[in-house]
Homo-oligomer: A and B are copies of this chain.
């Protein structure tokens, strides 16, 4: 916090408000003041005041067990242009891809060293997946993350490596050298694979999506269970969908 000394400065208030909002996650969708104070490290009186203001502004809602994130945040989030433009353009191609592969389809962007899933189309009898719309995963442990990093400037990959290549399963690529070699291959082939690297039993094939400036913007993937999905066979379909989406987004040929 920039102004830790001065309780009431603009930056610290906003930072504290965001830290209260950030305390909620999929496992903690509702909290009381005490739990919020514990998870944010803020004083109970500060949390109490902030929560009152956030409820009044619609960013939080009262609920049975305290407060929860409000629909107002959902409304703001749906207006985020990067999400909206990409998702709207991608949906028809994602539907085609699900139809053609009979598998789960993901659309993700890179945010720093993690991917954020913008949309997921599931097949009817899909087993549980580790991904969630709006959820994050370490970029190096996912097919979409590797597809994006392979076409990103070196400093993007460096930031990921510098942050530590955390192990998600026994198959996660955790050696910088191995990651660099794999990204070179992906750069050549235009397709990346996740072979049980993000979660045991889950595999995927992914391909990068490019924007009008020729820079990578996102990635599409086809995901399924290791025992059922042949990722090599899925690769051409994913790459075709990603190229078609890139064309619609105005990417140079």
Stretch at the interface among A54-62, A145-153, A239-247: A54-62
Interchain CB contact under 8 A, A81 and B53: no
Within 8 Å of chain B (Cβ to Cβ): is A187? no
- List, in ascending order, chain B residues with CB within 8 A of A54's CB: 14
Interchain CB contact under 8 A, B74 and A29: no
Interchain CB contact under 8 A, A57 and B116: no
Across the interface, A134 reaches (CB within 8 A) one of B58, B74, B136, namely B74
For window 1-39 of A, CB contacts with B under 8 Å fall at 8-11, 13-15, 17-18, 21, 24-26, 29-30
| Cα(A109)–Cα(B74), bound, Å | 12
Q: Chain copies in the assembly?
A: 2
Interchain CB contact under 8 A, B59 and A69: no
- List, in ascending order, chain B residues with CB within 8 A of A163's CB: none
| Cα(A49)–Cα(B13), bound, Å | 13
Interchain CB contact under 8 A, B134 and A81: no
Query: Which residue of chain B has its CB nearest to the CB of A109?
Result: B71
- List, in ascending order, chain B residues with CB within 8 A of A25's CB: 79
Contact with B along A118-137 (1 / 0, CB 8 A): 10000010000000111110
